[in-house]
A and B are shown apart, each in its own frame.
Chain A
């Protein structure tokens, strides 16, 4: 059973350097039988990073990947409040570098037009775009996106490969919002292991659109794996969610980069 974790971070993990933190992450991943990790964002985060901060955070990930290319992928962290700098960073880290996707967090709502050139460039590079989403009863951050907003973006970019991070966390709403957007997959990470989420995602979206991720290090690999291993779904669906789907989404850019798995 191949397990690829679509959503990991260097924060929340002990270690003075990106490499030390990767060692820790890999050590825990080994204990859980996780073959590959996808890592994004730096050792310390900011909601609305300046171009310099973006580069610094992406440099952290590049450093983290340096010794773990056989175990980890990286997504470039971009900020749509700095479109030109984001496009340059996309070129540096993905087109000309080892990263294979884009991470967008909470700097700007993802339905705004500023995202269009970033998503278009990522799509041209065959890079998936993973967008953080949450629906908080306590109120979202000023620039924090919802799955409903991601659905708007998806409809503007039907060729893009989009990943709805956290399924909106309020997953009963998030899954509904994305049912009609066939180019959006959901990742199951970063919220409590509430029973039923995986069953509903498989029922409403199809197993092919559901990805395992952990949100480690702030979340446990175990609690998030439990969502998949504990779900009442067919074995074939479990296999897709644990790794096959993420691999399928990455294969176009991996092939383009000449990577053979």
Chain B
């Protein structure tokens, strides 16, 4: 049972555009298995379809061709069974609800009882260290805190898979690193399978058990890199030789298949410790 992948993608294509307009192939021939409890990052230049791939897994859009099997059933069924927790780049909190009521939202929709809602919301907010902010409104929180509320909300109903679409893309580098450590801590405690879209190389390496490198136009998987850094990982992990080697490996994989120079530039901007890493390796 445990050997069965949580997510199995076979031959997934995604073509945008209607019959009368020029078509864009966003994804081509995607095959990917994600095992239970894995932390998988999708990384690639913008326009490589990594967000589209995430949305296909979550049944927020459907593939043009190919199969998506989640927990042994079609993605749509998995969504109806509420197997997914979503975290977007923006927190997307409901500003008319308090922090606590935001976390309760999915539980309300799923018809959980009042006592359980109360308890789960409290637990989840304590997990993301916002236990003192139950009664606050979203506008009273900083961007990082809002994103933590979004994570608590996604975890509230214990989804089988957590789908995160550049959740920390809008945060500054220091906050992002702190959030990365926090996500790892939560992942280690909950054992949830995570699919994580990012275009930060250090973030992908630090978090993942596997990094899936994608190329643009059409979006393809060019390389899958196993991240064998020991766990639990901490800030010290970011200073180990193996970490730098892996960062370099991901970067080179991206550059080899990266497509245009523009995309390369964007990626290097997203990884400020590039010079450090290269210095250490070279």
Q: Do A and B belong to a common assembly?
A: no
Measured CB to CB, the residues of B under 8 A from A are none
Interface residues of A (CB under 8 A from B): none
